[in-house]
Amino acid sequence: MAKYTYRKYMGDDLYSWAVFKDGRPVCTGESRQQAKYIKERLEREEKKSNKQIEWGPDGIPFEN
């Protein structure tokens, strides 16, 4: 299972939070609350489906 984290990324404003999968950003430009929610959702969905969730270039998640 992949490791998801969220932290500040590329800036110091309200929307400089990002979600990382195994150290690589998968979703950027979020508020802290949004990043936390996305991280928890990705972990829950991956655990539920036992598949890895990837983010497309348009910001929409898809399963591999």
Q: Determine the pLDDT at residue 16.
A: 95
pLDDT of residue 19: 96
Alpha helix (H) residue ranges in the chain: 32-49
Look at residue 35 in the predicted model and tell me its pLDDT: 95
Number of structural domains the chain divides into = 1
Domain of residue 41, residue span: 4-63
pLDDT score at 46 = 84
The parts of the chain modelled with pLDDT lower than 50 are none
Interatomic CA distance for residues 8 and 15, integer angstroms: 9
